[in-house]
Structure 1
Amino acid sequence: MKRLTGKITSSIFKELDFNSVEQDKINYAMEVVLTDLSKAAILLIFFAFFGLVIDFLFVLAYSVPLRFNVGGFHMNKYYSCLLFTLMYCSLTIMLQRMVLTDNGLLFSVAAVCCFLIYFISPVIPAKKLNAVLVRKLKMRGVTLSLLYLLIFPLSNSSYVRYGLWVIILQALLILIAKGVKENEKRKNKNYAAGSV
């Protein structure tokens, strides 16, 4: 992906005058876009094979904005990220299609998970955080979660139920990610104290 991005951006840079910082930013943005588009295309083909394209698109439509604001696990490698996204989307679809839950119970669990999202999010690298950003991401994440909750009673569609499953899974994922992050902090603190 880096080679393809490099070829595309080098042809852009020949035509336009950018300094090295601007070139790095454009190169990074192009790499992110191409990587995400290629993963989405692969996943779309996978779910099309099973006749689940619409389900996948709804899961994606609910997941991406929420995940962007509340954070969670992020994989460093292309294939691990692709595999994680495939498992996440597949699990969401399987839960919706196979777990027969009462609408009231599903709604209640999702509502509790909204509180978890409020108290735990965002779970993103500390170097990207400041108090204003944390507050903005938290409020957007909670607002999206509440919006998904409020849409549910208006339509008893299976596609709307995906929003509740996404809230539940995302809350569990950020709870786990927060635990991992805290454990790593504790290990690093103990290691630093022991090495002095």
Structure 2
Amino acid sequence: MAARLIAVVGPSGVGKDTVMHALAASDPSMSLVRRVITRPSDAGGEDFDGVTCDEFDLRVARGDFCLWWDAHGLSYGIPKSQIEHRPEGTVALVNLSRSILDEARASFDGFRVISLTANPETLARRLGGRGRETQDEILRRLARAGHARPQGEDVIEICNDGALDETIQAITVALYPERAVR
């Protein structure tokens, strides 16, 4: 059986990668999935494998990805090897697009979604601080922030406006209620 998969989703600037790193650091059974993106490898931000559009299309044609999608003018892929070769009992954390959740649900048993939210001021501050987007790109991302918030029994919605440790605590309690201190 492949590793259990937990998608971390939310609008740009909500802190998905920061939260994922903190979750993995707090629980040795969790580890991060490294995505393939048609973005230059030196673009900064998350750890990812940057490829050209031609290389990405070749990998899709070879069947290298278990999931792939396009967003914000880029292509994103989750290599099968990042999911299939994980030890039994581990949890794979992956930054997914909200648009691909139904396909992920159909593909993975035990799939869960952590849907992060934040107020528009927080998102704007974080997007501006990372320095990857122009002001127009930031405005477009902010306009999509509330778009298509995931629904379903597998979704845990967490507001990430506060301290990171509070967010991690809320996620941990939601994922593992039996660990909660009574």
The structure where strand makes up a greater share of residues is 2
The structure where helix makes up a greater share of residues is 1
**TM-score of the aligned structures, taking structure 2 as reference length:** 0.29
